[in-house]
């Protein structure tokens, strides 16, 4: 496929780390929340093997925070998600579907409770801040919605634990998965969560002070030499093998959270109030007619620009939404929206790429379970 440059503009916002990563071998950007998100350095496959063995620092500032503050903040956050946050605790992260009034997906952020009256919604790529502002003003809620200057650095990979301990001290090793706290480095406080968009383990540093953040960035790279540290970015091979979903790729506003397999983050029983609840109650009674599943395809490479129909003879089985060559399975693995009649994993299908027909089969997600 022909490659093009991305033309920079003010509305395609850079991050505090853009100049760093550009001088460290960045080769491709994508955009995310109207911001630059690094997409490649040495190549996805090389980066995949490195991520699984060493440690990487990712500039994921494009995972923007919607900050909600005020007396009605909990009410507003709950209005937008079908996950029950009644018992949520300060200091914890919650992966939660954001849905619309029809019960369809808008985003799949991590919601962080900083205080009873202060929340961050750490977004995937869609304008949830505008949704929140509309609700707050339309319902006259006492909730202030803003996008603070918070820029995330993810430190991912099996050696991330040793590196973070070396730089930030022993206390960081006590942080539990999806917990967060403040840690001090050279007199500056950093908000750090144990999370990240890979299943190789690691942390996310929510940087609130740009200058202090750049100092920490440089320190991570010098302290990380002994751990073979490299700059990186979310890796499509690792995330597909691990079954981490990508908003806008694997699902969009035409899909509901049941169809995305988010059942454990849906509450239709309790007495909580959120938009789309009626719709989800109805869907939970009727059942769904399509859902996201894994697929394996006999191909040694794939490049996807839009969803690809999967056929069984003349019948449509579903649509391939994301796919990548997996060095582990030595074939293409992907995430596809599969019609109910074909959930039976024995189903095989054909798909056409560049005028050639290829065979594939359906399987469960995740392809590789590597819970840390
Ligand atoms: N980190 C932060 N913000 C983000 C992402 C992130 N915003 C955008 C995007 N990623 C949101 N999507 C996800 C998807 C999956 C996970 C996190 C964010 C994830 N899932 C675990 C899993 O599926 O196993 C854990 C889920 C759970 O325990 O509930 O980590 O990466 N800051």
Pick the atom of ligand 1 nearest to 124's CA: 8
Mutate to test the pocket of ligand 1, among 35, 196, 197 (most ligand atoms within 8 A of CB): 197
Q: Token pair of 330, please?
A: 């030595």
**Lowest pLDDT segment from 144-148, 180-184, 193-197, 351-355:** 351-355
- Summarised one tens digit per residue, pLDDT across range 49-82 is 999 999 999 999 999 999 999 999 999 999 999 9
> Is the previous residue joined to 366 through a cis bond, with omega within 30 degrees of 0?
yes
Q: Ligand 1, closest atom to CA 245?
A: 14
Phi and psi at 208, nearest 5°, equal -105, -15
Integer Cα distance of 60 and 68 in angstroms: 21
Confidence of residue 2 (pLDDT cuts 50, 70, 90): confident
Cβ 63 under 6 angstroms from ligand 1: yes
Burial of 20 (0-12, 13-18, 19+ CB in 10 A): middle
Alpha carbon 92 to its chain's center = 17
Residue 371 reports pLDDT greater than 60:
no
Q: What is the pLDDT of residue 297?
A: 96
How would residue 42 be classed by pLDDT, with cut points 50, 70 and 90? Answer: very high
- Find the range with the poorest average confidence among 200-209, 296-305, 312-321: 296-305
**What single string gives the DSSP state of each residue in 284-302?**
HHH--SEEEEEEEES-S--
Q: Is 340 within 8 Å of 325 (Cβ atoms)?
A: no
Residue 151 parent element (H or E):
strand 151-156
Confidence of residue 372 (pLDDT cuts 50, 70, 90): very low
Give the lowest-confidence range in 119-133, 176-190, 223-237, 336-350: 336-350
CB burial of residue 125 (10 Å; 0-12, 13-18, 19+) = buried
If you measure from the C-alpha of residue 351 to the centroid of ligand 1, how many angstroms do you get, rounded to a whole number? 30
| Rounded distance from Cα 357 to ligand 1 centre (Å) | 35
Q: Tell how far the Cα of 1 is from the centroid of ligand 1, in angstroms.
A: 30
The percentage of residues in the chain with a pLDDT greater than 90, rounded to a whole number, is 94
pLDDT value of residue 345: 67
Cα atoms in the 13 Å half-sphere on the side-chain side of 217: 27
Domains and CATH numbers, the chain: 18-63+150-240 (3.30.1360.120), 65-144+256-287 (3.30.70.1400)
**What is the rounded average pLDDT for all residues in the chain?**
96
Length of the chain: 372
Tokens at 7, concatenated: 């033309």
- Nearest by Cα to 208 from 233, 229, 190: 190
Does the pLDDT value for residue 8 go beyond 60? Answer: yes
User: Is the CB of 125 within 6 Å of ligand 1?
Assistant: no
Q: State in Å: Cα 233 to ligand 1 middle.
A: 14
pLDDT at residue number 368: 87
Nearest of 255, 351, 248 to residue 295 by alpha carbon:
351
Which of the four pLDDT bands, split at 50, 70 and 90, describes residue 29? Answer: very high
DSSP 164-227: HHHHH-GGGGGPPTTBEEEEEETTEEEEEES--SSSS-EEEEEE--HHHHHHHHHHHHHHTGGG
Instruction: Tell me, rounded to whole angstroms, the distance of Cα 300 from its chain centroid.
Output: 26
Closest CA to 289 of 317, 268, 265: 317
**Mean pLDDT calculated for residue range 239-254:** 98
Distance (Å, rounded) from C-alpha 318 to C-alpha 336?
7
The ligand 1 atom at the shortest distance from the C-alpha of residue 177 is 28
β-pairing, 230-232 with 56-59?
parallel
Q: What is the pLDDT of residues 93-152, one digit of tens each?
A: 999 999 999 999 999 999 999 999 999 999 999 999 999 999 999 999 999 999 999 999
Residue 276: pLDDT band with limits 50, 70, 90: very high
Distance between CA 154 and CA 206 in Å, rounded?
A: 9
What is the pLDDT confidence band of residue 354, given thresholds at 50, 70 and 90?
Answer: confident
């Amino acid at each position: 496929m022909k490659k093009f440059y991305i033309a920079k503009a003010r509305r395609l916002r850079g991050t505090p780390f853009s100049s760093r990563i550009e001088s460290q071998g960045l080769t491709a950007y994508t955009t995310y929340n109207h911001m630059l998100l690094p997409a490649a350095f040495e190549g996805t496959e090389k980066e995949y093997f490195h991520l699984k063995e060493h440690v990487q620092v990712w500039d994921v500032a494009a995972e923007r925070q919607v900050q909600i503050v005020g007396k009605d903040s909990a009410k507003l956050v709950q209005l937008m998600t079908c996950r029950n946050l009644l018992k949520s605790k300060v200091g914890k992260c919650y992966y939660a579907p954001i849905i619309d009034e029809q019960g369809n997906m808008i985003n799949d952020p991590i919601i962080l409770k900083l205080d009873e009256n202060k929340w961050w919604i750490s977004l995937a790529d869609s304008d949830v801040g505008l949704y929140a502002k509309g609700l707050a003003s339309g319902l006259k809620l006492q909730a202030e919605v803003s996008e603070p200057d918070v820029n995330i650095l993810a430190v991912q990979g099996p050696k991330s634990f040793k590196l973070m301990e070396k730089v930030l001290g022993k206390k960081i090793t006590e942080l539990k998965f999806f917990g967060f706290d403040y840690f001090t480095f050279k007199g500056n406080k950093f908000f750090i969560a144990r999370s990240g968009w890979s299943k190789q383990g690691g942390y996310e540093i929510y940087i609130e002070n740009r200058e202090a953040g750049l100092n920490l960035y440089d320190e991570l790279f010098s302290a990380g030499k002994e751990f073979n540290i490299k700059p990186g970015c979310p890796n499509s091979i690792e995330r597909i093998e691990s079954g981490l979903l990508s908003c806008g790729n694997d699902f969009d506003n035409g899909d509901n959270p049941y169809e995305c397999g988010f059942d454990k983050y849906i509450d239709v029983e309790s007495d909580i109030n959120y938009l789309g609840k009626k719709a989800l109650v109805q869907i939970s009674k009727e059942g769904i007619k399509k859902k996201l599943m894994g697929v394996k395809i006999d191909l040694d490479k794939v490049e996807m620009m839009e969803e690809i129909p999967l056929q069984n003879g003349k019948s449509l089985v579903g649509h391939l939404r994301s796919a990548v060559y997996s060095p582990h399975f030595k074939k293409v693995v992907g995430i596809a929206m599969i019609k109910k009649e074909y959930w039976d994993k024995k189903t095989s299908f054909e798909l056409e790429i560049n005028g050639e027909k290829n065979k594939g089969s359906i399987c469960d997600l995740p392809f590789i379970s590597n819970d840390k």
